Chain A
Amino acid sequence: MLPRKPMLVTMLLGILLMLLVPASAQDEPTTITWLTLGWPADYIIEEFEARNPDINVEAEQVGFNDLFAQIQVRLGAGSEVPDVISVDVPLVSGYALRNWLLPLDPVFTGDEVEDWLPAAVNAGSYEGTLYAAPVSTSTQLLFYNKGCFDRAGLMPPDADDRLTWEEIAEIAPQLTFDDDGDGTPDVWGFIWEQMVRIYQLQALPESLGGDAIGEDGLTVDGVINSPEWIEAFTYYYNMFNIWNAAPQGEEFWPADIFETGNICMFVGGPWNIGRFANNPDLGVEWGVSRHPYFADGEPATPTGSWHIGVNANTENIDAATRFVHFISTGEGAELWWRRPGGGDFPAQQSVLAMFATEAEFDELPMSYMRTAADEATVNPRPRAVTVGFLEYEQILQNTFQDIRNGADVEESLNLAVQRIDSEMAKYR
């Protein structure tokens, strides 16, 4: 039955419609979403919003693996949010190829571009166009617990020493202690911070002269199953399975158990320097030395950076590019670098220079940051440049996890070749 009061119905409908139409955009600040990792983003957002009251930034923070999956699913579906995304730099070419990122050349002046490390600009560009602005870069050092060395009666290395992997293989089992005698160590000798990631492990075969990918950026047969890779990952296998000096099982974040004294050495990023230096409860006496290398090879250090890009489908181009500009250049970049608990390597040369001039880095342990700054110049090896980096990295991640947990090295690397080949087929 129809209602008898059409007037009332019209009025109600009118009110409903008014509720549905958004309030005038001019009074409200524009809100943009930044899809990023779990670092302290609030700090930089507050600074940015204080200078740009017309923009609201909401950080959507997710874990490492989730970030890649979310970008893939959401940008792949053509969604207009998130407006801004943090980009792990080897993924830039894949994203750019699919037109997911807004070209950023008009956003930056020539001086701003020149201030970035040239390698970072290159890595953030695809076919000559900048798609992701450099924010930070990285290197790796050996962190160790001095107490473990004392307990084993060994001398810890100096900050400028560079141990060989062969020496690590000798020391690590001596720093592994099974205190309760249950057959499983309670204190482990060694681990890689990102224990199954190519970012960190690529330095192993590269120290032996191996490559990361074929020259066409797609071929892996004969590259990731080459003798150099097999030798490097046999070393890796032995660390977990033969010398029993490193823990198997699920992935974890070694700094957490380094702080409790249950890991004696790990190769990790300089972000740990700030973390350990600023931890008043840390009961561990620690030090750093240079990134290890194979005695028969040459030193090679991992490098790679976080960039920031704008979703090509965003409805807030102006607000999104202003935020990206802020965090990647000048004052904003410096603020990001100085964020509490930071400790990244800035990708801006002007900010990088502050390591040498700031008094904060004159004394131990913060002076280790200067060691790291210097280490970043020693044969830094970026990750493979390929449009299929996501597939490449995730399949290798599975592969390293398998080897770590006891799978045969050659068999695993050959399976990885088969899997990567099968994924790369669509790019050929």
Chain B
Amino acid sequence: MMPARQQIIPYLFLLPALFLLVVFNLMPTIATLFESMFVISLRSGERVFAGFANYNRIFNDPIFWKSFQVTVVFSLLVNPIQIALALGLAVLINQRAPGIGIFRSIYLLPIAVSLNVTAIVWGLMLDQNSGMVNGILLQLGVARQPFLHSVDQALWSIILIASWIGVPLWSLFILAGLQNIPPPVLEAAKIDGANAWQSFTKITLPLLRRVLAFVLVADTVANFLMFAPILLLTSGGPQLSTNLIMYETYRRGFLYGDLGASAAMLSVMLLIVFIIVGIELYALRGRD
């Protein structure tokens, strides 16, 4: 049994982090839940308690549901794509090959550039009239593509931009996981006659489960909160095809001054993220 004084010490070390967590995460969350129960009178600026009126309003709002739908589709596409590519990339850079050191530095470069700058540069490259991508397509004999201006292509363009940063970032975590796998385990499998695919599916993947669980959860949350490329490139268009819920929340609250509805949307979003993350953690829980 440790003396009481020593038992306190770990908590003292945790205190600064806990303090920041409370101030920057917990308090805003509670404030949002609180705010979602109020409406602000437009004329007097007075805050009036409204119960679930804001929720009632957004649940009857077709634009909210449309935005919800876009967010779900986006998440269902972007998360598997990013994680599959990140896993592939991590396995690739885990190989010992001549010149791999150079590649390991280059593939990390997108992470070093902020999402905003990346979004703007990709916006220029995907421009319909003067973008580089269309220039290349024209050289290859492919017609100009509208990309961010087309209902069918805009969401995919956003997925591309998000993955440009997301894939190398998450692959970094997976790479760390791969390098944690003790080489003797893989060697033993090889001696037992497992081929590369078998040792990947039977040994590498199960041993990566914890890392993958973290990456999946963190990636899901990051993509649910995707905002900057929408603000900078599409404003939710064309025809609301990229109107992710974070952008709709921003538009309601900060552009149109409807903080109550905005807070209600955020609270719903929070609940959904909570549930999804719970399911993900449950599905990938360690059995060891």
Measured CB to CB, the residues of A under 8 A from B are: 68-69, 72-73, 76, 78, 97-99, 182-184, 247-250, 387, 390-391, 394, 398, 401-402, 405-407, 411-412, 415, 418-419, 422-423, 425-427
- CB pair A394 B255 closer than 8 Å: yes
Minimum Cβ distance to chain B for residue A261 (Å) = 17
A249 to B146, alpha carbons, bound, how many Å? 7
Chain A residue nearest to B57 in the complex (CB): A425
Q: 12 pairs across A/B with beta carbons < 8 Å? A: A68-B255, A72-B255, A248-B128, A249-B127, A390-B255, A401-B238, A402-B151, A402-B238, A407-B151, A415-B240, A419-B63, A423-B258
Output the residue of A72, A248, A249, A418 with the most chain B CB within 10 A.
A249
Is B200 among interface residues, defined by CB-CB distance under 8 A? no
A99 touching B45 in the complex, CB below 8 Å, given contacts A72-B255, A182-B138, A405-B146: yes
- CB pair A76 B257 closer than 8 Å: yes
Minimum Cβ distance to chain A for residue B126 (Å) = 10
- CB pair A98 B45 closer than 8 Å: yes
Picked from B146, B151, B258, the residue with its CB within 8 Å of the CB of A248 is B146
Which residues from chain B contact A406 at a C-beta distance below 8 Å? Answer: 146, 149-150
Is B129 among interface residues, defined by CB-CB distance under 8 A? yes
- CB pair A426 B239 closer than 8 Å: no
- CB pair B255 A426 closer than 8 Å: no
- CB pair A97 B127 closer than 8 Å: no
A402 to B257, alpha carbons, bound, how many Å? 25
- CB pair A423 B256 closer than 8 Å: yes
- CB pair A73 B235 closer than 8 Å: no
Which residues from chain A contact B43 at a C-beta distance below 8 Å? Answer: 97-99
Which residues from chain B contact A69 at a C-beta distance below 8 Å? Answer: 254-255
A247 touching B238 in the complex, CB below 8 Å, given contacts A97-B43, A425-B57, A426-B258: no
- CB pair A398 B236 closer than 8 Å: yes
- CB pair B138 A405 closer than 8 Å: no
Chain B residue nearest to A397 in the complex (CB): B235
Picked from A72, A248, A394, A405, the residue with its CB within 8 Å of the CB of B257 is A72
- CB pair B129 A247 closer than 8 Å: yes
Which residues from chain B contact A427 at a C-beta distance below 8 Å? Answer: 42
Which residues from chain A contact B261 at a C-beta distance below 8 Å? Answer: 426
Is B288 among interface residues, defined by CB-CB distance under 8 A? no
Picked from B144, B237, B254, the residue with its CB within 8 Å of the CB of A73 is B254
A390 to B126, alpha carbons, bound, how many Å? 29
B34-72 contacts to A, CB under 8 A, are 42-45, 57, 61-64
- CB pair A398 B237 closer than 8 Å: yes
- CB pair A422 B61 closer than 8 Å: yes
A177 to B150, alpha carbons, bound, how many Å? 25
Which residues from chain A contact B143 at a C-beta distance below 8 Å? Answer: 183
B139-160 contacts to A, CB under 8 A, are 143-144, 146, 149-151
A184 to B143, alpha carbons, bound, how many Å? 10
- CB pair B144 A184 closer than 8 Å: yes
A13 to B226, alpha carbons, bound, how many Å? 46
A423 to B238, alpha carbons, bound, how many Å? 18
A-B pairs, top 5 by smallest CB distance, nearest first, are: A405-B149, A249-B128, A402-B238, A249-B129, A422-B63
Output the residue of B42, B150, B254, B256 with the most chain A CB within 10 A.
B256
- CB pair A250 B127 closer than 8 Å: yes
A427 to B256, alpha carbons, bound, how many Å? 11
- CB pair B256 A390 closer than 8 Å: yes
Which residues from chain B contact A407 at a C-beta distance below 8 Å? Answer: 151, 238-239
A249 to B144, alpha carbons, bound, how many Å? 11
Chain B residue nearest to A98 in the complex (CB): B42
Chain A residue nearest to B236 in the complex (CB): A398
A250 to B43, alpha carbons, bound, how many Å? 37
- CB pair A97 B238 closer than 8 Å: no
Chain A residue nearest to B45 in the complex (CB): A99
| 0/1 interface trace, chain B 128-140, chain A, CB 8 Å (1 if under) | 1100000000100
A426 to B258, alpha carbons, bound, how many Å? 8
A249 to B237, alpha carbons, bound, how many Å? 13
Which residues from chain A contact B64 at a C-beta distance below 8 Å? Answer: 422
Which residues from chain A contact B127 at a C-beta distance below 8 Å? Answer: 249-250
Which residues from chain A contact B240 at a C-beta distance below 8 Å? Answer: 415, 419
Which residues from chain A contact B146 at a C-beta distance below 8 Å? Answer: 248-249, 405-406
